[in-house]
Amino acid sequence: MNRALILRTLGLVLLVEAGAMLPSLGIALYLNESDYMAFAITIAIVAVTGFSLARTRLDTKDVGYREGFIIATAGWFFLALFGALPFTISGTIPGFINAFFETMSGFTTTGASVLTDIESLSKSILFWRSLTHWLGGMGIIVLTLALIPSLKIAGMKLFRAEVPGPAKSKVLPRVAQTSRELYKLYLIITVAEIAALKLAGLNWFDSFIQTFGTVATGGFSNYNASIAAFDSPVVHYIIIFFMFICGINFALHFYALRGNFRPLWRDPETRLYFFVTMTACLIITVNLITTMNYGVEKAFRQSAFQVTSILTTTGFATADYTGWPVLSQAVILLLMFIGGCAGSTGGGIKNVRYLILFKSAARQFAKLFHPKAIIPVRLGRDVIPEELVESVQNFFFLYFMLLLTSTLVIAAMGIDLLSSLTAVAASLGNIGPGFGIVSPASNYAAIPATGKLLLAFCMLVGRLEIYTVLVVFSARLWRS
């Protein structure tokens, strides 16, 4: 194992995090907020640690997938660990476990919070809290690959270990090029939404905060009422649009911006994503109109917002859906187990895995009538390798085993079953709000400290899609 490479890469990742804290320090100094000291101290600690690790001398540039798995898992863990320091040092969040939970929730774009009065926080703290979303949305390792060309030595191994989805592909020949182009696209979408929200009447600070939460499909807002704080249908529709497009594979956006829309129209996963969104919106809209006497526009806007928010795992809210009819709540609950598209900033199981699982089940059914037939699993015109089909089947097994086991552990802490189940589902799926005591109208403050650590682990497992994290606990990984 190339330990020197691991240490050096982790050091570079921490240096990127230290640089990312500078805007928050600048805001604190500009607004004369007392929290500037918390950022100054944290930046010094993170920069010194990162610089010390980054100076590790490399004896060899050889790298395998084991290094990629360790760097990805340890990188995200240390980002949350050091990223929690501003909250702890400033006293904004009492208790380091609470601060770690909040930061892990930010970097993994989960959006679950332990804060009961968000609006009382300083703007510098709020900015850092939401910036963790933006950094985690596309991936901090991908950002590091884009900024530091020397990491080409580990390129594809790191890329595959971090990027969500059952199959990872480059849009350009080199991983560093792919990383830079993806971040350029990410930045373009970010700037576009900031401008749109500003034109819709939001101030610059609110525009930045809501945008960070939207394009990263994270869900942190600077208001206790989330997006419901903005009584503007235009703002709601802008955020719906950007949540939806950020739930689509960014590689398809890359081709579309270059005038090639064919991959976007033909992609089976995107078509399923669109179908699920429209169907869920229709069901909830009709349900709200017929049972709660909502007007057509209000019913459609509320349903479209919450469906898109939950399906893309953003977690923003314009309404407390736990007060909706049972049918609407059931639809929302089902969406929590789907997620966005592979290669998007959205979390969850991903639509493409359901497609592969359905196609695999259909093939098995066909073999009952034609036992000797060779029937490949196809997505569109592409044949899915058997090892990928098996990987998806194993993923479902591991996902729901983790879901059930973690739910039992949380329930054993005295939390009711619905709250336990949806808290774990929202953490594994990087969604944020659930039902019961973790509904959009509440938060995760009532979860015991041990439960918060378990949920933070679920967030990391969900963001790195199970295998990357669990393989680190395998003895085989650490053997020569």
Instruction: Show binding-site residues for K(+).
Output: 109-110, 218, 313-314, 430
| β partners of residue 384 | 377
Q: What is the 3-state secondary structure (H, E, C) of 184-199?
A: HHHHHHHHHHHHHHHH
Question: How are the residues of the chain apportioned to helix, strand and coil, as percentages rounded to the nearest 5?
Answer: 70, 0, 30
* 348 within 8 A of 265, measured Cβ to Cβ: no
N-term to C-term CA, the chain: 7
* Interatomic CA distance for residues 382 and 378, integer angstroms: 5
* 344 within 8 A of 217, measured Cβ to Cβ: yes
Place of tokens 């995107």: 270
Place of tokens 């991908």: 142
* 70 within 8 A of 477, measured Cβ to Cβ: yes
* Interatomic CA distance for residues 133 and 152, integer angstroms: 25
Distances 39 to 18, 79, 199 between C-alpha atoms, Å? 9, 15, 31
Q: Is 265 exposed, middle or buried (0-12, 13-18, 19+ CB in 10 A)?
A: exposed
For the chain, the farthest-separated pair of C-alpha atoms sits apart, in whole angstroms, at 75
Place of tokens 């194993």: 394
* 314 within 8 A of 236, measured Cβ to Cβ: no
**DSSP H stretches of helix in 21-117:** 22-30, 36-54, 65-83, 85-90, 96-107
* 47 within 8 A of 15, measured Cβ to Cβ: yes
**Residues forming the annotated binding site?**
109-110, 218, 313-314, 430
